[in-house]
Amino acid sequence: MTGGSITLRPATRDDAALILILEEAGMRPYAEALWGVWTPSATPDTLDLSNHDMIEVAGQDVGCVATAWHTDHLRLRKLYIGPDSRRQGIGASTLARVFQAAAAQGMPLRLSVLTSNRDAARFYLRDGFEAISHDAERIMFERPPSRTQASA
Protein backbone atom coordinates (compact mmCIF):
# COMPACT_ATOMS: atom_id res chain seq x y z
CA MET A 1 0.00 0.00 0.00
CA THR A 2 1.16 3.48 -0.75
CA GLY A 3 2.55 5.52 2.13
CA GLY A 4 0.24 8.51 1.61
CA SER A 5 -3.39 8.71 2.62
CA ILE A 6 -5.91 8.20 -0.15
CA THR A 7 -8.63 10.81 -0.46
CA LEU A 8 -11.45 11.37 -2.90
CA ARG A 9 -12.69 14.75 -4.05
CA PRO A 10 -15.38 15.69 -6.55
CA ALA A 11 -13.99 16.15 -10.05
CA THR A 12 -14.24 19.61 -11.58
CA ARG A 13 -14.10 20.79 -15.18
CA ASP A 14 -10.39 21.48 -14.57
CA ASP A 15 -9.93 17.71 -14.07
CA ALA A 16 -11.54 16.68 -17.36
CA ALA A 17 -8.33 16.57 -19.41
CA LEU A 18 -6.57 14.44 -16.77
CA ILE A 19 -9.54 12.07 -16.56
CA LEU A 20 -9.35 11.52 -20.31
CA ILE A 21 -5.58 10.94 -20.09
CA LEU A 22 -6.19 8.36 -17.34
CA GLU A 23 -8.94 6.76 -19.42
CA GLU A 24 -6.66 6.46 -22.44
CA ALA A 25 -3.80 5.03 -20.37
CA GLY A 26 -6.14 2.49 -18.81
CA MET A 27 -8.28 1.57 -21.80
CA ARG A 28 -6.44 2.15 -25.07
CA PRO A 29 -4.48 -1.14 -25.25
CA TYR A 30 -7.63 -3.16 -24.52
CA ALA A 31 -9.83 -1.20 -26.92
CA GLU A 32 -7.26 -1.61 -29.68
CA ALA A 33 -6.96 -5.34 -28.94
CA LEU A 34 -10.73 -5.73 -29.12
CA TRP A 35 -11.78 -3.29 -31.84
CA GLY A 36 -8.50 -2.42 -33.56
CA VAL A 37 -8.86 1.27 -32.77
CA TRP A 38 -8.96 3.66 -29.81
CA THR A 39 -11.71 6.26 -29.77
CA PRO A 40 -11.82 8.69 -26.82
CA SER A 41 -15.16 8.73 -25.01
CA ALA A 42 -15.35 12.52 -24.90
CA THR A 43 -13.39 15.75 -25.06
CA PRO A 44 -12.50 17.82 -22.01
CA ASP A 45 -15.43 20.11 -22.86
CA THR A 46 -18.00 17.33 -23.37
CA LEU A 47 -17.03 14.89 -20.59
CA ASP A 48 -19.95 14.38 -18.20
CA LEU A 49 -18.38 14.74 -14.76
CA SER A 50 -21.46 13.57 -12.85
CA ASN A 51 -20.45 11.28 -10.01
CA HIS A 52 -16.74 11.50 -10.87
CA ASP A 53 -14.22 11.75 -8.04
CA MET A 54 -10.52 12.33 -8.29
CA ILE A 55 -8.32 9.97 -6.29
CA GLU A 56 -5.55 11.81 -4.46
CA VAL A 57 -2.52 10.51 -2.62
CA ALA A 58 -0.50 13.01 -0.62
CA GLY A 59 -2.33 15.82 -2.40
CA GLN A 60 -1.52 14.54 -5.90
CA ASP A 61 -4.16 13.36 -8.37
CA VAL A 62 -3.36 9.72 -9.19
CA GLY A 63 -6.66 8.44 -10.57
CA CYS A 64 -10.40 8.81 -10.86
CA VAL A 65 -13.51 6.84 -10.02
CA ALA A 66 -17.07 7.25 -11.32
CA THR A 67 -20.24 5.57 -10.12
CA ALA A 68 -23.95 5.60 -10.92
CA TRP A 69 -26.79 4.63 -8.61
CA HIS A 70 -29.56 2.47 -10.07
CA THR A 71 -32.73 1.23 -8.39
CA ASP A 72 -31.22 -2.17 -7.63
CA HIS A 73 -27.43 -1.68 -7.63
CA LEU A 74 -24.50 0.71 -7.66
CA ARG A 75 -22.57 0.68 -10.92
CA LEU A 76 -18.84 1.32 -11.01
CA ARG A 77 -18.44 3.16 -14.31
CA LYS A 78 -14.74 3.99 -14.08
CA LEU A 79 -11.77 3.18 -11.92
CA TYR A 80 -8.58 4.49 -13.47
CA ILE A 81 -5.23 4.69 -11.72
CA GLY A 82 -2.30 6.42 -13.40
CA PRO A 83 0.46 4.09 -14.62
CA ASP A 84 3.01 5.34 -12.06
CA SER A 85 0.59 4.74 -9.18
CA ARG A 86 -0.59 1.22 -9.99
CA ARG A 87 0.08 -1.85 -7.86
CA GLN A 88 0.22 0.19 -4.66
CA GLY A 89 -3.21 -0.67 -3.28
CA ILE A 90 -4.82 2.58 -4.43
CA GLY A 91 -7.33 0.87 -6.72
CA ALA A 92 -8.21 -1.76 -4.12
CA SER A 93 -8.67 0.88 -1.42
CA THR A 94 -10.87 2.99 -3.69
CA LEU A 95 -12.88 -0.06 -4.73
CA ALA A 96 -13.42 -0.92 -1.05
CA ARG A 97 -14.90 2.54 -0.46
CA VAL A 98 -17.25 2.18 -3.42
CA PHE A 99 -18.29 -1.28 -2.25
CA GLN A 100 -18.95 0.03 1.27
CA ALA A 101 -21.28 2.69 -0.17
CA ALA A 102 -23.24 0.01 -2.05
CA ALA A 103 -23.31 -2.38 0.91
CA ALA A 104 -24.54 0.40 3.22
CA GLN A 105 -27.62 0.60 0.98
CA GLY A 106 -27.95 -3.20 0.83
CA MET A 107 -27.14 -3.16 -2.88
CA PRO A 108 -24.69 -5.10 -5.00
CA LEU A 109 -21.86 -3.37 -6.81
CA ARG A 110 -21.76 -4.07 -10.55
CA LEU A 111 -19.24 -3.26 -13.25
CA SER A 112 -18.05 -4.45 -16.61
CA VAL A 113 -14.62 -4.91 -18.15
CA LEU A 114 -13.54 -5.45 -21.71
CA THR A 115 -12.89 -9.12 -22.46
CA SER A 116 -9.39 -8.16 -23.59
CA ASN A 117 -8.53 -6.76 -20.13
CA ARG A 118 -7.63 -9.93 -18.25
CA ASP A 119 -5.71 -8.04 -15.56
CA ALA A 120 -8.85 -6.12 -14.58
CA ALA A 121 -10.92 -9.31 -14.59
CA ARG A 122 -8.42 -10.97 -12.23
CA PHE A 123 -8.39 -7.87 -10.00
CA TYR A 124 -12.16 -7.93 -9.57
CA LEU A 125 -12.36 -11.71 -9.11
CA ARG A 126 -9.67 -11.49 -6.44
CA ASP A 127 -11.75 -8.83 -4.68
CA GLY A 128 -14.82 -11.05 -4.36
CA PHE A 129 -16.70 -10.25 -7.56
CA GLU A 130 -18.40 -12.92 -9.65
CA ALA A 131 -18.76 -12.88 -13.42
CA ILE A 132 -22.52 -12.84 -13.96
CA SER A 133 -22.69 -12.48 -17.75
CA HIS A 134 -20.57 -11.79 -20.78
CA ASP A 135 -20.68 -11.15 -24.48
CA ALA A 136 -17.97 -10.82 -27.12
CA GLU A 137 -16.88 -7.42 -25.78
CA ARG A 138 -17.57 -7.25 -22.05
CA ILE A 139 -17.72 -9.30 -18.88
CA MET A 140 -20.26 -8.12 -16.28
CA PHE A 141 -19.22 -8.57 -12.65
CA GLU A 142 -21.21 -8.29 -9.44
CA ARG A 143 -20.32 -8.30 -5.77
CA PRO A 144 -23.31 -8.81 -3.47
CA PRO A 145 -23.47 -6.58 -0.38
CA SER A 146 -22.95 -9.55 1.95
CA ARG A 147 -19.79 -10.84 0.27
CA THR A 148 -16.58 -10.14 2.13
CA GLN A 149 -13.38 -9.40 0.28
CA ALA A 150 -11.91 -12.64 -1.05
CA SER A 151 -8.39 -11.80 0.10
CA ALA A 152 -9.46 -10.66 3.58
pLDDT score recorded for residue 3: 52
Tell me, yes or no, if the pTM score tops 0.85.
yes
Q: Give the residue among 21, 35, 40, 24 at the shortest CA–CA distance from 114.
A: 35
For the chain, list the domains and their CATH numbers.
6-107 (3.40.630.30)
pLDDT at 150 over 90: no
State pLDDT tens for residues 14-38.
Answer: 999 999 999 999 999 999 999 999 9
| Per-chain mean pLDDT for the chain | 91
Rounded CA-CA distance 5/55 in Å is: 10
What is the arithmetic mean of pLDDT over 105-120?
A: 94
Rounded CA-CA distance 123/125 in Å is: 6
What are the residue ranges of helices labelled H in 16-89?
16-35
Specify whether the CB–CB gap between 102 and 70 falls below 8 A. no
Specify whether the CB–CB gap between 63 and 91 falls below 8 A. yes
